[in-house]
Amino acid sequence: MGSVRARAAAGATVVVALALVAAGTAVLLVLRGHLQNQAGLQAEVAARDVAGQIATGTPYGKLDLPDGEDRPVVVTGDDGRVLAVGEDVRAVDGKPVGAGQGAPGSGPGRSADDEDGDDDGPRLRPGEIDDDVDLRDGSADVGGKVAGYRFAAVEAKDSRGAQATVRAGSALAPEEDAVASVRDAMLIGLPLLLVVVAGVTWLVTRRALRPVEGIRGEMAAITASTDLSRRVPVPSSRDEIGRLARTTNETLAALELSVERQRRFVADASHELRSPIASLRTQLEVAVAHPELLDVPGAVVDTVRLQRLAADLLLLARLDAGERPADTRVELAAMVREETSQRVADRVPVRIGELASGEVAGSRGQLARVLGNLLDNAQRHADGSVRVAVVREGEELALRVEDDGPGVPESERERIFERFVRLDDARARDDGGAGLGLAIARDVAVRHGGSLAVRTGSVFEMRLPVAG
C-alpha cells in the first residue's frame, strides 16, 4: 500500500462495500416486512370472508373455504372444537386438526349464552364480526406438505349467537423466494460492483496524479543537473495540483534568484578584497626591497579599508543567516546625539535638527551602524551641509539624513540599495566605499520591522515602529 493510487482504490472499495452491505441489509429488511404485511393482509381478507359467511348464517358444513395449499383455514368454536377446516389441511403448528378436535392455541370455550363481555372490548352480537385481527407466523401441514404461513385470526358470531374463530393463513414461500432472489442478486452484483469501483478509482487517481509525477520527475532532474532555471510543468487545471506546480515554480524562481545573488555576492566580495590586498602586498614587497620607500600611511589606509570591508561582509552574512536583532529599547534621539558627537573628523560638519523623543526595539549597535552609513554616504556627496533629524509621525519614528548634494536620480533610487552598487560619480574607491553601506542599512531597517528609502533626491529616511 505504498502507492497513493492503491490506498485510494482500497479506501474507496472499503467505503462502498460497507455502504452497499448496509443498504442491502436495509433493503432486505424492508422487503421482508413489506411481503409479510402483504401476506398478513391476504390472510386477513380470507379470514374475514369466511367470518362474513358465518355471520350471515351459512352452515359450517357449507362454508366456501379457500384452497387448502394457498389459504389453509381452520374454524373453531367458542369451546375450542374444530367446526370447519380447509381441504387437505391436516395440522397447524404441528397439532392435528379435524372435526371435534381442539384447535391449536385455543383455550377453554365460552357458552353462546354468556352475557358477560371480556375485558378486551364489547361483546359481539349475533351476525357481527370482530374488528380486531390477530396476526402471527406459524406452520401448516397441507396434503402432507409442511410450510410456513402468515395466519390471521378473526372472531365472529353466527345468527344463533354462537361464537367462532376463523384462522386463515397465507403462504410465506413467495416471500422467502423473493427475499432469497434479491439476496442472491446482491451477493453476485456486490463483488462485481466493488471491482468496478476499485478499477475506476485506480484510473481516476492515476489520471489525477499524473501531473504530480511530472512535477516529481522534473524536480529530480533539476536536483541532478543543479540547473535552477528549469521549471516544472504546470497543468491547465486550476485545482490543488495546478497551484502546487505554480508554487513550486515560484519557489524555484526565488531559489534561483537567491543562488545568483549569492554567487554575485561572492564574486563581488572577492573582487573588492583583491584590490586592498594587492595594494598592501605591493607596498610590503617594496618595503622589503627598499625600506626607505615604505608608504606607512597608505598601508594603514589599505588595512583599515580591508578591515571595514571584512566587517561589512561579516554583518551581511549574519543578516542573511536570519540573525534577529536584540530585543532592547533604543532612544533614537540620544543615539543620534552620541554618534554625531564622535564624528569630529568629518569633511562637512553634521548639523542636528529636530530630535523627537521615542524608543524603538532592536539592536543599538546595528541602528548606530545604519546612522553611520547614512552619514558617510551624505559626507561623500554633500557640497557643504549635512543634517540629521528624528521626527515622530503617529506610531513611527523617522530618522532622516539630508545633504545638499546633487541627489539620487529617481531611476536609481532602488538600485543604490543593492549590494556592491555604486553610481558613476561614486566609483572612485578613494572617495567611495565598496557599495555595501546602503545595502546593510536597508537590511538592518527591515530586520527591525521598518523601512529605508530615498524620500527625495538627497533625503534618506528610515522609519521604525515605536516600541510598546
The residue with greater pLDDT, 427 or 282, is 282
> Do 136 and 212 fall within a single domain?
yes
pLDDT attached to residue 326:
75
Residue 230 lies in a domain: no
Q: Please, which pLDDT band fits residue 122 given cuts at 50, 70 and 90?
A: low
Residue 443 sits in the same domain as residue 351: yes
Claim to verify: residue 175 and residue 72 sit in the same structural domain: yes
Name the pLDDT band for 425 (thresholds 50, 70, 90): very low
C-alpha distances in Å from residue 125, one per residue of 112, 113, 132, 157: 10, 11, 15, 7
pLDDT in tens, 301-334: 778 878 888 888 888 778 777 777 777 899 999 9
Do 33 and 170 belong together in one domain? Answer: yes
User: Is residue 149 predicted with pLDDT exceeding 50?
Assistant: yes
**Residue length of the chain:** 468
115: pLDDT strictly greater than 50: no
Asked if residue 33 and residue 178 are part of one domain, the reply reads yes
Q: Where a domain ends, among 302, 320, 338? A: 320
- On whether both 162 and 14 belong to a single domain, the answer is yes
Q: Domain with 401 in it: what CATH number?
A: 3.30.565.10
Is 429's pLDDT higher than 50? no
Q: Which residues contact 88 (CB under 8 A, 6 or more apart)?
A: 68, 69, 142, 143
One domain for residues 174 and 86: yes
Instruction: Answer yes or no: is pLDDT of 458 > 70.
Output: yes
* 231 in any annotated domain: no
Cβ neighbours of 224 (radius 10 Å): 8
Domain-terminating residue out of 320, 346, 374: 320
> Are 139 and 272 in a shared domain?
no
Sign, Cα dihedral of 116, 120, 123, 129: negative
- Strand arrangement, sheet containing 396-403: 350-355, 386-393, 396-403, 459-465, 451-456
> d(Cα 58, Cα 51) in Å, to the nearest integer?
10
HEC-encoded secondary structure of the chain: CCCHHHHHHHHHHHHHHHHHHHHHHHHHHHHHHHHHHHHHHHHHHHHHHHHHHHHCCCCHHHCCCCCCCCCCEEEEECCCEEEEECCCEEEECCEECCCCCECCCCCCCCCCCCCCCCCCCCCCCCCCECCCCEEEEEEEEECCEEEEEEEEEEEEECCCCCEEEEEEEEECHHHHHHHHHHHHHHHHHHHHHHHHHHHHHHHHHHHHHHHHHHHHHHHHHHHHHCCCCCCCCCCCCCCHHHHHHHHHHHHHHHHHHHHHHHHHHHHHHHHHHHHHHHHHHHHHHHHHHCHHHCCHHHHHHHHHHHHHHHHHHHHHHHHHCCCCCCCEEEEHHHHHHHHHHCCCCCCCCEEEEEECCCEEEECHHHHHHHHHHHHHHHHHHCCCCEEEEEEEECCEEEEEEEECCCCCCHHHCCHHHCCCCCCHHHCCCCCCCCCCHHHHHHHHHHHCCCEEEEEECCEEEEEEECCC
Q: Where residue 463 falls among pLDDT bands split at 50, 70, 90?
A: very high
pLDDT at 298: 78
Q: Under a CB-based contact definition with an 8 Å cutoff, are residues 149 and 35 in contact?
A: no
Are 152 and 36 contained in the same domain? yes
Assigned domain for 5 exists: yes
Give me the CATH number covering residue 244.
1.10.287
Together in a domain, 210 and 353: no
- Are 441 and 452 contacting, i.e. CB atoms less than 8 angstroms apart? yes
Same domain, 172 and 28: yes
Domain membership of residue 427 as a residue range = 328-465
Percent of the chain whose predicted confidence (pLDDT) is above 90: 22
5 and 124 in a common domain: yes
Model confidence band, residue 242 (pLDDT cutoffs 50, 70, 90): confident
* Position 113 in a domain: no
- Asked if residue 412 belongs to a domain, the reply is yes
In a domain, residue 234? The reply is no
Q: Is residue 131 part of a domain?
A: yes
The partner residues of 294 in beta bridges, in order of sequence, read: none
Number of structural domains found in the chain: 3
Q: Would residue 138 count as lying in a domain?
A: yes
Last residue of a domain, one of 170, 194, 225: 225
